[in-house]
A = this chain, B = another copy of it.
């Protein structure tokens, strides 16, 4: 199907409420049924479910396990079946607030002992930072707590968490990343990006959340600039197309995401998938594709803090033009956005 033949359904809006947010992928009933190519607008809560509203609100006091990282949904995607691929194109991301929050959190983050990188050290101080968002100028302002230092950083909205119900009857906490997507925390997951996920159950049961006004590579302290988000999505179902790991596609690159520990396994899983995609797309044999990625590939560090770490292996689509992954699904979904 060519994009100009696509009939775009009326956009609808799914707000984030106690009834429409959840804390797992799988288990919950859908809050809406959506169609491929339909523009879907929704709102997401921030990862603290809105409970951190000032630098006095320590997350460990105001939040309670497992009520962290709420996701809006799930959305039942008409026609999606196990074995298919769900393509989720992020049309637009706009922070739904003028401030964002970050924090340290006891025994969470890359430079502190955690439940698994277990240490005898007491937890680091729990501290909250408030960021001011200037939507006009496209900035978020970092304000130090210990001194007068302030600095503006680029506003680069992204979604930390996009996922579907896992296969095999599993239900995963929304704070966990996996083959089903979930809390990938990849800064490349922005407006203009398409995410490909393996459908594990009928209807896929898509849910999204964990908006970040911006994030450094690896999400060092474990918490980005957390904001509620207005999200516009459009999805497609690629029938009987398998997707072994979450993948991203932008206008310039396509990427495979490794989700694993230790971090080198994340790097490996991402790159093996990218090599295999190249083989499939280009006719190169595996060693030739391995060589091409060795010289031309980019590796983006997503998170080094979650239950599993994420790295994306990326390559410029120009190198293999005019071939396109998933037969151009990204281009079609991108086109629905409007003027492109």
Cα separation A223 to B287 with both chains bound (whole Å): 13
Asked whether, in the complex, the Cβ of A288 is within 8 Å of the Cβ of B110, the reply is no
A126 to chain B minimum Cβ distance, whole angstroms, is 9
Interface residue tally of chain A, by bracket? 35 or more
B287 x A104 contact (CB < 8 A): yes
| Contact A225-B284, Cβ < 8 Å, known A170-B173, A267-B304 | no
Q: A326 — which chain B residues lie within 8 A by C-beta? A: none
Set B102, B131, B214, B294: member contacting A223, Cβ < 8 A: B294
**Known pairs A288-B144, A301-B267; A296 contacts B27 (CB<8 A):** no
- Is there a chain B Cβ closer than 8 Å to A260's Cβ? yes
Q: Shortest CB–CB separation between residue A113 and chain B, in angstroms?
A: 6
The A176-215 residues at the B interface (CB cut-off 8 A) are 214-215
Residue A26 is within 8 A (CB to CB) of chain B in the complex = yes
* Given known A-B contacts A66-B167, A111-B271, A262-B261, A142 and B292 have beta carbons under 8 A apart: yes
In the bound assembly, the distance between CA atoms of A209 and B282 in angstroms comes to: 34
Report the minimal beta-carbon distance from A320 to chain B, rounded to whole angstroms.
Answer: 8
A320–B151 alpha-carbon span in the complex (Å): 8
Note all chain B residues with C-beta closer than 8 A to A285.
Answer: 145-147
How many angstroms between the C-alpha atoms of A66 and B290 in the bound complex? 26
Enumerate A89-112 residues with CB–CB distance to B below 8 Å.
102, 104, 109-112
Given A118-B111, A120-B290, A288-B147, CB of A218 within 8 Å of CB of B168: no
Against B, the Cβ 8 Å flags (1 = close, 0 = not) of A125-142 are 101010100000000101
Contacts of A271-304 to chain B: CB distance below 8 A: 271-273, 275, 282-288, 290-299, 301, 304
Establish whether residues B269 and A263, one from each chain, have CB atoms under 8 Å apart when the complex forms: no
Report the separation of the CA atoms of residues A319 and B140 in the bound assembly, to the nearest whole angstrom: 13
Q: B-facing mask of A212-244, CB < 8 A → 1, else 0?
A: 001111111111110000000000000000001
Is A290's CB under 8 angstroms from B169's CB? Answer: no
CB-defined contacts of A287 to chain B, threshold 8 Å? 104, 120, 124-125, 127, 145-146
Cα(A173)–Cα(B171), bound, Å: 9
Copies of this chain in its oligomeric complex: 4
Do A117 and B116 touch across chains, with their CB atoms under 8 A apart? no
CB neighbours (8 Å) of A283 from chain B are 147, 149
- Contact assessment for B118 and A121 in the assembled complex, using a CB-CB cutoff below 8 Å: no
Q: Which residues does chain B contribute within 8 Å of A291, judged by CB atoms?
A: 102, 104, 127, 129, 142, 144, 221
From the candidates B170, B265, B266, name the one contacting A172 in the complex (CB within 8 A): B170
Nearest CB of chain B from residue A186's CB, rounded to whole Å: 12
Among residues of B, the one whose C-beta sits closest to the C-beta of A146 is B285
Q: Which of A260, A269, A287, A311 has the most CB of B within 10 A?
A: A287
Cβ–Cβ contact B297 & A216, under 8 A: yes
CA distance A298 to B219 in the complex (A): 10
**A119 contacts the other chain (CB 8 A):** yes
Interface residues of A (CB under 8 A from B): 23-24, 26-27, 65-66, 102, 104, 109-113, 115-122, 124-125, 127, 129, 131, 140, 142, 144-147, 149, 151, 153, 167-173, 214-225, 244, 258, 260-269, 271-273, 275, 282-288, 290-299, 301, 304, 309, 311, 319-320
Q: Lowest 6 A-B CB distances belong to which pairs?
A: A66-B168, A262-B262, A263-B263, A217-B299, A121-B121, A118-B272
